Structure 1
């Protein structure tokens, strides 16, 4: 699948801002943690592990160990500063938790280009669970074709 979002966006969050966000969350600050979290904060949509790695390597102009990167992405999810979603392509994508979004919001996955986008809040009811069950997280992914791919579709 083709990815039509090739450009690495200019950082909009400074290292100082990201460092403070991590400290406010009571976390130990490292150079890689700051770089990974800033990459997610600056992204316009959830990113896969390779997309995060590519953006990091182009911004810091040096290779990033993929295992260290994965551990840092998982760490951000574990402490609640990021969330991880999957679409029908079974690729995990990560995005920073936005203050304006609840922990659970829908996503759109374009089956043509593979991009995943956060969607605005919309009411989704929690299914009725058996007695003594509790919801920790609920994921809703809408699969379809994005506007970019829809415009570029050739007529049959």
Structure 2
């Protein structure tokens, strides 16, 4: 498992430090996106700044993407295999459960291309569907 995580980091040109491996392992084990606060709770003895920098490094290198689900703090989820975080190709819908507050990536549901006026250049887009997840309705 550690070798797989190291390889995943190396593929994205990220040096595999002990903390980065631990954070990647935590993200890999999550079904839902995770906030910095949630990650901090999982790593009680870790420095918040180190965790934040790790997430930012992952984001800058296309390993994770951030999600603004309207709760005031971004959440982070692993990018799907082959994702380049390209606004024209890789953007997908997210689902936020208003009961349990979990946010899920729905990579099979792509955000449709929006043709902006020529004087505008898009840099990011975010589509969050809010409702109740299957875990909370059942």
TM class by shorter chain equals: 0.7 to 0.9
2:24 pairs with one of 37, 41, 54: 37
Q: Which has the higher strand share?
A: 2
**Matches for 1:97-116 after TM superposition, within 5 Å:** 97-99=79-81, 103-116=90-103
| Cα shift at 1:41 | 1.9
Distance 2:38 2:115 in 1: 37
Deviation by residue 1:12-55 (Cα, 9 ceiling, x = unmatched): xx222111111222222211111112211221111111222233
Provide TM-score, normalisation by structure 2: 0.84
**Matches for 1:1-156 after TM superposition, within 5 Å:** 14-57=1-44, 63-99=45-81, 103-151=90-138
How many residues are paired up?
Answer: 133
Distance 1:123 1:43 in 2: 21
Partner of 2:86: none
Q: Secondary structure at the match of 2:76?
A: strand
Where structure 2 has 5 or more consecutive residues not aligned to the other structure, the ranges are: 84-88
Distance 1:100 1:21 in 2: 12
Contact 1:35 1:56 in 2 (8 A): no
Deviation by residue 1:56-85 (Cα, 9 ceiling, x = unmatched): 45xxxxx11111101111111111100000
What is the root-mean-square deviation of aligned Cα atoms in Å? 1.9
Provide TM-score, normalisation by structure 1: 0.76
Partner of 1:9: none
Q: Secondary structure at the match of 1:138?
A: coil
Q: Secondary structure at the match of 1:122?
A: strand
Where structure 1 has 5 or more consecutive residues not aligned to the other structure, the ranges are: 1-13, 58-62, 152-156
